[in-house]
């Protein structure tokens, strides 16, 4: 089987089901790399009826021979990571293959406090953050004022690194937000203890990746969140604080673009969004409730109810462009099983004009009204389909239309949460690039 290094990204606003698809593709991967985001991302995997919810650890950890790397582009809450490690150990899962970049930045307790306080202060202008401290962690990283994993391994170095930032953050917490200051000795003791437990997993991540590449290993790069939440290319300011797009894999993992062979996008058969911000195809009332309830649309990280809407082909085409997608995985097709009619957004109307591109202005985006194509539903269960020919003709027609609209073939169709509820049209990693379901 030929070498292939693949990036898996979310083609919408996150929550597309990347965890399941990454888990599926990890069977062909020797190394899985998480390259950005933090505990604001979450993915749920169902294996043999066992539901696993992970935020930092790649789902490839379920395969004993797969090395899982958390790259430098991530921000790590060590308390959460250790909690996930303990959960996996209790389930008898081997975690010796988990590796953590020594240069990844650490989410500290003041990051969480500031994130929550700033979001509350925004009032009606809130962004809808998870309150997990991700933005402030990345801000400190950019300001060259952050704490890295390597700093947790030496108590004296941690004390020296924390002296300035902690004094500054305590002043902010007290003066601006009226909160109690953090005790420096308590913070040092807590995070040094995290460092002791994490030490066996800490590596030079970039070196490990390039060594794997030299040894002709298959590497899978896993993005968190989704394209429309990208800091530079998403619906700013209602975005995350990192780069979930495929190009972020190069920065967050420390590799050049020539190492990437394929990019696979994951999209739901409809669209969801968590938090604030414009959402042209958002539904209200019974249809929204139907999609939310059938799709179990509640955030893995926050438990918040997701906003649901019809599939948006405009943002889909945009995701294809900015990520350079080779193929798609369409998830949750089964959620549409009971509908007699399905709408697909093919363009927007903005101030009386039809547009087929994603506007760069969030104000313009908020004024966009969807232009729909109506398609018949299939009103029969797809949950037990395991081959394309098992799908109802209307479901096949829907998938072919999405492939035509997005101008990219579909390689995988997911019909439920379990591993086996999946149709793999063609090997999306090693198969011919265009020998897939297309228009």
Q: Who contacts 291 (Cβ-Cβ below 8 Å, separation ≥6)? A: 270, 272, 283, 297, 308, 335
Note every long-range contact of 152-161, with CB atoms under 8 Å and residues 24 or more positions apart, other chains counting: 152/78, 152/106, 152/191, 152/192, 152/194, 152/195, 152/198, 153/102, 153/195, 153/199, 153/202, 154/195, 155/188, 155/192, 155/195, 158/188, 158/191, 158/192, 158/195, 159/188
How far apart CA 209 and CA 216 sit, in angstroms, is 11
Quick one: 276 exposed, middle or buried, by C-beta within 10 A (0-12, 13-18, 19+)? Answer: middle
Q: Which residue has the tokens 């700013």?
A: 236
DSSP calls for 224-287: -S-GGG-TTTSSTTSS-SS--STHHHHHHHT--GGG--EEEEEEESSEEE-SSS--TTB--HHH
Q: How many CA atoms lie within 13 A of 139 on its CB side?
A: 13
Place of tokens 């959402």: 279
Catalytic residue among 23, 30, 43, 233: 43
Respond yes or no: is residue 312 known to be catalytic. Answer: no
Alpha carbons 133 and 15: distance in angstroms, whole number? 19
3-state secondary structure of 312: strand
Whether residue 65 lies in the annotated active site: no
Q: Which one of 15, 23, 140, 326 is the catalytic residue?
A: 15
27-29-31 Cα angle (round to 5): 130
Task: Report how far residue 47's alpha carbon sits from residue 20's, in angstroms, rounded to the nearest whole number.
Answer: 10
CA-CA-CA-CA dihedral for 16, 18, 20, 24, to nearest 10: 140
How far is it, in rounded angstroms, from Cα 280 to Cα 370?
6
Which residues have a catalytic role annotated? 15, 43
């Amino acid at each position: 089987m030929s070498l292939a290094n693949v990036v898996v990204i979310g083609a919408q606003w996150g929550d597309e089901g990347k965890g399941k698809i990454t888990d599926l593709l990890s069977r062909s991967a020797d190394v899985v790399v998480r390259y950005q985001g933090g505990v604001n991302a979450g993915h749920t995997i169902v294996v043999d009826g066992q539901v696993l919810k992970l935020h930092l650890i790649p789902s490839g950890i379920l395969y004993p021979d797969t090395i899982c790397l958390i790259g430098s582009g991530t921000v790590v809450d060590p308390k959460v990571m250790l909690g996930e490690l303990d959960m996996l150990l209790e389930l008898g899962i081997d975690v010796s293959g988990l590796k953590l970049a020594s240069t990844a930045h650490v989410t500290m307790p003041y990051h969480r406090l500031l994130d929550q306080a700033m979001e509350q202060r925004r009032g009606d202008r809130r962004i809808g953050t998870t309150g997990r401290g991700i933005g402030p962690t990345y801000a400190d990283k950019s300001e060259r004022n952050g704490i890295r994993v390597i700093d947790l391994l030496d108590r004296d170095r941690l004390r020296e690194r924390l002296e300035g930032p902690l004094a500054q953050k305590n002043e902010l917490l007290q003066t601006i937000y009226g909160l109690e200051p953090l005790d420096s000795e308590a913070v040092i003791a807590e995070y040094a203890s995290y460092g002791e437990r994490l030490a066996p997993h800490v590596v030079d991540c970039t070196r490990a990746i390039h060594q794997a590449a030299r040894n002709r290993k298959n590497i899978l790069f896993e993005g968190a969140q989704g394209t429309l939440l990208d800091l530079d290319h998403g619906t700013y300011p209602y975005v995350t604080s990192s780069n979930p797009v495929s190009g972020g894999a190069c920065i967050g993992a420390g590799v050049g673009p020539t190492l990437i062979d394929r990019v696979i996008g994951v999209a739901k058969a409809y669209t969801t969004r968590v938090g604030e911000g414009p959402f042209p195809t958002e539904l209200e009332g019974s249809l929204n409730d139907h999609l939310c309830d059938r799709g179990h649309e509640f955030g893995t990280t926050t438990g918040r109810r997701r906003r649901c809407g019809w599939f948006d082909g405009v943002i889909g085409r945009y995701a294809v462009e900015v990520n350079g997608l080779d193929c798609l995985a369409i998830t949750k097709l089964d959620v549409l099983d009971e509908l007699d009619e399905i709408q697909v957004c093919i363009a927007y109307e903005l101030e009386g004009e039809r547009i087929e591109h994603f506007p760069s202005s969030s104000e313009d985006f908020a004024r966009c009204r969807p232009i729909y194509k109506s398609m018949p539903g299939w009103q029969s269960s797809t949950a037990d389909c395991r081959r394309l020919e098992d799908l109802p003709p209307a479901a096949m027609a829907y998938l072919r239309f999405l492939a035509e609209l997005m101008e990219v073939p579909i390689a995988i169709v997911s019909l439920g949460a379990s591993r086996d509820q999946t149709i793999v049209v063609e090997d999306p990693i090693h198969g011919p690039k265009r020998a897939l379901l297309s228009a």
